[in-house]
Amino acid sequence: MRAALAAALALAAALGTAPDAAHAAAPPPAPQAPPVKQPVAVGYGGAVASVDADASAAGIEVLRSGGNAVDAAVATAAALGVTEPYSAGVGGGGYLVYYDAKRRRVSTLDGRETAPLSAGPDLFLGADGRPLPADEAATSGLSVGTPGTPATWEAALDAWGSRPLADVLAPAEHLAREGFTVDATFRQQTADNRDRFAAFPASARLFLPGGEPPAVGSTFTNPDLAHTYALLAAQGAGAVYRGALGRDIVRTVRRPPVDPRARRVVRPGDLTARDLAAYAVKRQAPVRVSYRGLDVYGMAPSSSGGTTVGEALNILEGRDLARLDERDYLHRFLEASRLAFADRNRWVGDPAFEDVPTAGLLDQRFADSRACLIRDGAALASPVPPGDPAAPAGCPPAAGPAAPTPYEGESTTHLTVADRWGNVVAYTLTIQQTGGSGITVPGRGFLLNNELTDFSFTPVDPATHDPNLPGPGKRPRSSMAPTVVLHCGRPVLALGSPGGATIITTVVQTLLGHLDRGLPLVDAIAAPRASQRNAARTDLEPGLWDSPLRARLEALGHSFRPVAEIGAATGVQRLPDGRWLAAAERVRRGGGSAMVVRPAGTAPPRTPGG
């Protein structure tokens, strides 16, 4: 840690700005041994749940030293940029939902990446007018949006944090410099990207030492990223949006540094310094629905997460899911998801460019008009046509063209944090697919996103307007769904997940498992998942694929395809006695990491809410 701090001070001196005295005098101490992963933890003083033990430990250290939930969330996110670089980092974006315990208010930050100001609806069309091949679009400068993550960290700390950016980046800077232990998941994700990374010298040097993925059990260091964090600590997010770091990002996007021996076609992008300077995080009101007497808050568009989770819950509100057997419960869940996705695909885009009927999508009358299409004895056939939120009366028959769900990258990460004062953060961040664009910014230690591939390449249905086509400065539609649940203005739980469009179904299914089916939060997270997104077939994890339930659902007309896993959720829960429970995956993505400041059994603090 002394070495990391000395480097930060030296860089600050060179830049003419030094970290404050508190940061210099009391850097957060580093763990002496790698933290152990556990899927559930209960105790006092606050909680952190993420996919990675080093990242959760970074957040816990900030909480332990007096920081609040926002401070800890940024520290955890920065550490995930080190240990989960294929899912998140400086080169990406995300969405943050914050519950303020003092004001009993939920606020959100939209830190989604944006398209260059030069982008038009033909962004991903070739000279022949046809869509580019998916891999050619994904592994390119063309797919890189203006990163939103650094601005999100700064905006969150400015609005609700208690520590400066330099303080909360210190654990991640140390982790990048000193390294972490490679696990099987990290090695496999590297191997899956081997051909892409090999095409870019900076990516190959960092992730393929000696030409091979790093061995399980080895120590992976990223000194370039440590320097990047030190620069952000000294200059703030302005280093990206108005400074040298941003100039390096622009240069890399416009002239991707490709190995001359590579046979891959890598298209340049058109990101400019003007795009970076124009970027702004959007602080906006959350969306809210009432479910079983609870208030469920989520992200408003540009993400479709909040509206689609909310609509699905509204559709299910009229049935007592606790009394249904497992087959009928899953049937109702799948049908509600199918209908909500039909409406999401037709209506949701960036509200700065599109007339998104957010209130209509979340209106209970509209949900009731969709719920009445669900039959107990037979599944609907996908794709289901969308409904019209402007005309929710009655039970109209399905009519009009359906918009299928386009591909959405599945490599994202989610963290959930609570502090001793009762503040809560649910934060989902991403660089899009596993490994993002595959392009590492030379000398900076992080991958660039390929988030613009979340746009529709062409209209998903030529007969209707597609709200998710590219546009200048437009945010691509997302499915990220960080969610906070309150009762009478106080937190009950918060959760979220990675997984592209499956994020929405993961969040809904986890909420139903806990709130309706009575599962403990960690068991609701671990339960085998299904994901229906208005497609002909429903994705099914092995726990359901190999279950007799599959045949019983097939008898209703459901069709399935097997997938290895869906999502990787984390959550925190406020227990009636004032303790916090943190919960994460038991198995998915190698298992998650739940931690609390003081485990149950230790003396609770004297401060209220501890």
Catalytic residues: 412
510 neighbors 504 (Cβ within 8 angstroms): no
405 neighbors 468 (Cβ within 8 angstroms): no
Distance between CA atoms of 431 and 123, rounded to whole angstroms? 19
DSSP for 37-51 reads P-SEEEEEEEEEEES
Distance between CA atoms of 494 and 479, rounded to whole angstroms? 17
For 18, 73, 181, 586, the CA distances from 80, given in Å and listed in that order, are 25, 10, 13, 18
Please write down the long-range contacts of 282-289, taking CB distance under 8 Å and 24 or more positions apart: 282/109, 282/110, 283/107, 283/108, 283/109, 283/110, 283/155, 283/159, 284/108, 284/110, 285/107, 285/108, 286/97, 286/106, 286/107, 286/108, 286/484, 287/358, 287/362, 288/106, 288/362, 289/313, 289/314, 289/362
Reduced 3-state DSSP string for 388-411: CCCCCCCCCCCCCCCCCCCCCCCC
What angle, rounded to 10 degrees, do the helices at 223-235 and 2-15 form? 50
- Tokens at 202, concatenated: 């900076």
Name the nearest CA neighbour of 169 among 217, 235, 123.
235
Q: Quick check: helix, strand or coil at residue 196? A: helix
What is the DSSP code (8-state) at residue 300?
Answer: P
**Residue reference for tokens 């989604």:** 112
For 75, 132, 187, 222, the CA distances from 219, given in Å and listed in that order, are 21, 38, 12, 10
Name the nearest CA neighbour of 81 among 70, 91, 67.
91
- Tokens at 603, concatenated: 């003396």
Burial of 394 (0-12, 13-18, 19+ CB in 10 A): exposed
∠ Cα 200 202 207 (to 5°): 95
- Tokens at 417, concatenated: 């944090």
Burial of 606 (0-12, 13-18, 19+ CB in 10 A): exposed
Question: Buried (b) or exposed (e) across 322-349, using 16+ Cβ within 10 A?
Answer: eebeebbbbbbbbbbbbbbbbbbbbbbb
CB atoms within 10 A of CB 382: 20
19 neighbors 166 (Cβ within 8 angstroms): yes
